[in-house]
Amino acid sequence: MNQFSKLIIFGLTLIIITSGHTAPNQPRIGLVLSGGGARGAAHIGVLKVLERLHVPIHVIAGTSMGALVGGVYASGMPLDEMERRLTEVNWDTMFTDDPPRPTWPIRRKRGAERPTWDFSIGWRNGEFWLPKGFISGQKIQLFLTDLVKNAEYIQNYDDLPIPFRAIATNLENGQIQIFDSGPLSINLRASMSVPGFFTPVEYNDKLYVDGGLVRNLPVDIARSMGADVIIAVNLGGSYLKREQLGNILGITGQMITILTEQNVQRSLAELNPNIDILITPDLGDIESTNFARVKDAIPTGETAAQAVAGQLSRYQISPKAYASWQHQRQHPNKPQPIVVDNVQIQGLNQINPHIFNPLIQHQDHFNLNRQLLEQDIQKIYSTGDFERISYQLKRHRQQSLLIVDALEKTWGPGYISFGLGLMDDNRGDSRFGLRANYRQTWINQLGAEWNTDLIFGNIPEIYSEFYQPLFTDRMAFIAPYLNASVTPLHIYSESNRIARYSTKQIFLGVDFGLTLNKNTELRIGPYWQVRQFDLDTGSPTLPEANIQDTGLQTRIFFDNLDSGYVPRHGQRFKLEYQYVNQISNILSTGEYQRLYGSWQGAYSFGQDSIMGIIRAGSSLSTTLPYYDQFALGGFLNLSGYANAQFRSSEMLYASLALQRRVAILPSPLGRGIYLGSSIEVGRLWSGLNQAISDLDTMPSFPKQLLYGASLFLAADTWLGPIYLGWGVAGTGDNGFYLLIGQ
């Protein structure tokens, strides 16, 4: 060996010794992270200790929440940023699939005025279908996509900064699915799809659910990736107590925990106590479903890892070498802005792809705008036609492809839902009904819908509308409709009800409409109706009669309230004009006009909110028949008085309510419980038409201001609104009210 060769060898040896790179005999360390729902945040605490001790990770295998933490860490996100993202996110919102109500299309907002339970049964090809889970995971999917955006072009998980595997269960055959490639966010979502709670993830024509069913602690998977040493973090089973097993949700959760723990014991037996390290955080009473305590779970992992710091320190490397490892993990070279060369929409079967045109126009051949992309996705998702809409980026022939994966609801396109309506003013006016709704969507490529409401009870009703858009953007439409109902008409003399009539009504019309934006709709159209008045009880104050009329009505709606039931911010406005030409009427008033407007606004500050309401009606100097006059009286409509105690041709009403949110309901049960109070004032002008006022027994309307106030407990739930209230009138009259639904 010549002198030059010796010099080269000496130089190379010196470089190896003085450099910070891992020595050749450094073992490959595999990190195994188990599932555990909210308890999985303890993994972040474990990673904190590993970073503090300068212990590098060479491969990661994770299941469920362990896959989420492991996958995000493997993709290169700094640990402090991961902790911030997972602790600051609103998990209650994350587990609610629906986008915020203000983003809904106006047609859906108007349909929600007839509330049904937040659950539907599908009707397809002559068969009933059920949803595959309570939560589709739409918001979670978008959240995961954003968390791993550093690695969105990487398809092979061996090419991630840290090689990674996510574990799921193939629902069709019960076999383990080891995800080592593909869109990372979708596979993370598959790994954490707890059966029954989350819908399974459909990917490559297969259905996947939570990997905890087959391998909740994937020690063998990390070993197969070449790990010499395993650091396993087992979160343990969160068994429910006896008192928590009184419903199907508790029993289902307990069954999943039992199955999971059985395969965990097998994985624990695979650990070598001489070289492997087991970390078991003491999570106490933190339950897997309690994501409000994610922040509390992190220190438990830190404490547990610190307790075995002596064992972990066997695998630490020099600060310089660790800094180099972290530098490689966190992708120091930030990617340049992504220019989208092409947008592809995948997965559509029945829905017209043109509804994605605004999304395509915003992204195609522009720099990728993630915020706008998610807004467009949520806007489309808010139509209620999709189970999931996600996106991914791919490189293909030097081009950046934005692929939008749109999965239509598998239990549609026909949906049956139910609701309950109950109103009782403790003054003899009790109304109850079971509502059934059928909605057939996408009857044609323009997005036609047939919507039918049936109410069974003491106030039966059927409402059916065929909604036909004229263009793919749904801005213009035509909507023929039918409404048939039986409703009570009460007549009062001061505070005494002197008669009750049964009003049978058939109403036929056709509307020509414009959807001006997601908050505003305009309708105008002719109608024909017939009404039959029959005396139920009391004095025959009004003649029993059959009345027919036809006319034209115009309506405009604006709605951006955050809730249609107990709003905390936003506004709702409605203006209706009706021209009526009576064809036959024993109490004929000929032609008359009816103008009605209402405004509702809410503003919140902290847990408190103020809600204002203004309503006004006018006959425009014509004479309204008694049954078409504007009514006041009832809960939050001059509380303390009886329902519709006063009627007149001119009316003005205003109220102001203060309400405090005293409890937040967990998703998907609802939004909250509120304690509130209101002050109300109303005024009536003009009076009964001449034909009625000639009758001595008919009451006259009060000519002074009317006052009312209320105290109430309200709940915004998946059943609809629930109110329990007490109202007092300016005259001292008072009463209790119970309302469920609308």
- 151-189 pLDDT per residue, tens: 888 999 999 999 999 999 999 999 999 999 999 999 999
414-741: CATH topology is: Porin (2.40.160)
Q: How far apart are CA 349 and CA 354, in angstroms?
A: 13
* Amino acid sitting at position 595: L
Q: How far apart are CA 556 and CA 475, in angstroms?
A: 14
The model's pLDDT over 260-292, given as tens digits with 9 standing for 90+, comes to: 778 888 999 999 999 999 999 999 889 888 898
Between 251 and 230, whose confidence is greater?
Answer: 230
**pLDDT of the residue at 407:** 92
Q: Report whether pLDDT(443) > 70.
A: yes
Domain boundaries, the chain: 29-97+136-331, 339-408, 414-741
Query: Which residue in 64, 185, 618, 710 is the catalytic one?
Result: 64
**pLDDT of the residue at 335:** 58
From residue 407, alpha-carbon distances to 349, 611, 718 in Å are 9, 38, 24
The model's pLDDT over 7-61, given as tens digits with 9 standing for 90+, comes to: 444 444 433 333 333 445 789 999 999 998 899 999 999 999 999 999 999 999 9
**pLDDT of the residue at 20:** 35
Residue 427: pLDDT band with limits 50, 70, 90: confident
Report the range of poorest mean pLDDT among 1-10, 445-454, 546-555: 1-10
DSSP 35-87: --GGGGGHHHHHHHHHHHTT---SEEEEETHHHHHHHHHHHT--HHHHHHHHH
The number of beta carbons lying within 10 Å of the beta carbon of residue 699 is 19
339-408: CATH topology is: Ubiquitin-like (UB roll) (3.10.20)
Partners of 573 in the β-ladder: 558, 599
Q: Which DSSP state fits 4?
A: H
**pLDDT of the residue at 536:** 87
The model's pLDDT over 535-575, given as tens digits with 9 standing for 90+, comes to: 888 887 777 778 899 999 999 999 999 999 999 999 999 99
Instruction: Tell me if residue 64 is catalytic.
Output: yes
**Domains 339-408 and 414-741 alike in fold:** no
How many residues are present in the chain? Answer: 742
Between 133 and 84, whose confidence is greater?
Answer: 84
pLDDT, the chain, mean: 88
Instruction: Tell me if residue 210 is catalytic.
Output: yes
Partners of 727 in the β-ladder: 710, 735
**pLDDT of the residue at 692:** 36
**pLDDT of the residue at 11:** 47
Residue 702: pLDDT band with limits 50, 70, 90: low
Query: Which residue in 98, 118, 210, 296 is the catalytic one?
Result: 210
Contacts of 570 (CB under 8 A, 6+ apart): 102, 559, 560, 561, 562, 601, 602
The model's pLDDT over 212-226, given as tens digits with 9 standing for 90+, comes to: 889 999 999 999 999
Q: Report whether pLDDT(517) > 70.
A: yes
The model's pLDDT over 661-700, given as tens digits with 9 standing for 90+, comes to: 999 887 767 889 999 999 999 999 874 433 333 333 344 4
The structure tokens listed for 642 are: 């009886």
Instruction: Return the CA Rg of the chain.
Output: 32
Report the range of poorest mean pLDDT among 376-380, 521-525, 539-543, 608-612: 539-543
The model's pLDDT over 389-418, given as tens digits with 9 standing for 90+, comes to: 999 998 888 889 999 999 999 898 999 999
Q: How far apart are CA 563 and CA 192, in angstroms?
A: 30
Q: How far apart are CA 264 and CA 267, in angstroms?
A: 5
The model's pLDDT over 92-149, given as tens digits with 9 standing for 90+, comes to: 888 888 899 999 999 999 998 888 887 889 998 889 998 888 888 999 999 999 999 9
CATH architecture of 29-97+136-331: 3-Layer(aba) Sandwich (3.40)
**pLDDT of the residue at 246:** 58
